A and B are shown apart, each in its own frame.
Chain A
Amino acid sequence: KNQVEQSPQSLIILEGKNCTLQCNYTVSPFSNLRWYKQDTGRGPVSLTIMTFSENTKSNGRYTATLDADTKQSSLHITASQLSDSASYICVVTPEEGGYNKLIFGAGTRLAVHP
């Protein structure tokens, strides 16, 4: 069964610190893996998108990595800011499916405290 699991479920860090969020997936083969940021009460916003052949993708303070062999991805946030408080969702698109086949992780809820 295609699944995407994220850890930790929630995380609290102090402003200015770095953190890394994990995503393990069983979707195979897959077209791409995305990381989204979802603020409370808002829709998800794309941070990064990687195909199976890419190892890393950066977007400002956000850096995503992908290891297709171990089926793991991580999202690293550097120099966290209060505005980084949100849920971060890992989403995998199976190769045989279109956008209606997106497999969503449950997300990691990040809280950045001053």
Chain B
Amino acid sequence: GAVVSQHPSWVICKSGTSVKIECRSLDFQATTMFWYRQFPKQSLMLMATSNEGSKATYEQGVEKDKFLINHASLTLSTLTVTSAHPEDSSFYICSARRPLPDSEAFFGQGTRLTVV
């Protein structure tokens, strides 16, 4: 299957700092990528949809100024958690969708963010 690489796998940062998470589609061009958040023992919650070359679409309740998404190329989307706080600690997962007619989406391996 297709490969979506997420980096880093885990990160620990101090409260108030910013953290950038990268999501790359390694063997296909992804016009659309998705960012999810997952708390322990809970389901994935969609945060935002990022489309290459345009602004991301955020789900209700997700602060766009806090979770900055950039999808500057067809193989890379980044999520920056700005001014991180302990409550931002979570598991962040990206997925990338192959272009039509396939449109199948593949998930990255996730990033464990711990804010101390």
Interface, chain A (partner B; CB < 8 A):
36, 41-46, 89, 99-100, 102, 104-107, 109
Residues of chain A within 8 A (CB-CB) of B103 are 99
Residues of chain A within 8 A (CB-CB) of B107 are 36, 43-45
Given contacts A43-B109, A44-B93, list 17 more A-B pairs with CB under 8 A. A41-B91, A42-B110, A43-B6, A43-B94, A43-B95, A43-B107, A44-B107, A46-B104, A46-B106, A99-B34, A99-B97, A99-B103, A100-B49, A102-B46, A104-B43, A104-B44, A106-B41
Least Cβ–Cβ distance between B67 and chain A, in angstroms: 15
Residues of chain B within 8 A (CB-CB) of A44 are 44, 93, 107
Partner of A41, one of B45, B97, B112: B112
Interface size counted on chain B using CB atoms at 8 A: 28
Residues of chain A within 8 A (CB-CB) of B106 are 46
**What 8 A-B pairs have minimum CB-CB distances, sorted nearest first?**
A43-B107, A104-B43, A100-B49, A43-B110, A106-B43, A43-B109, A44-B107, A43-B93
Separation of A45 and B103 alpha carbons in the complex (Å):
16
A99 lies within 8 A of B6 (CB):
no
Residues of chain B within 8 A (CB-CB) of A45 are 107
Separation of A57 and B60 alpha carbons in the complex (Å):
35
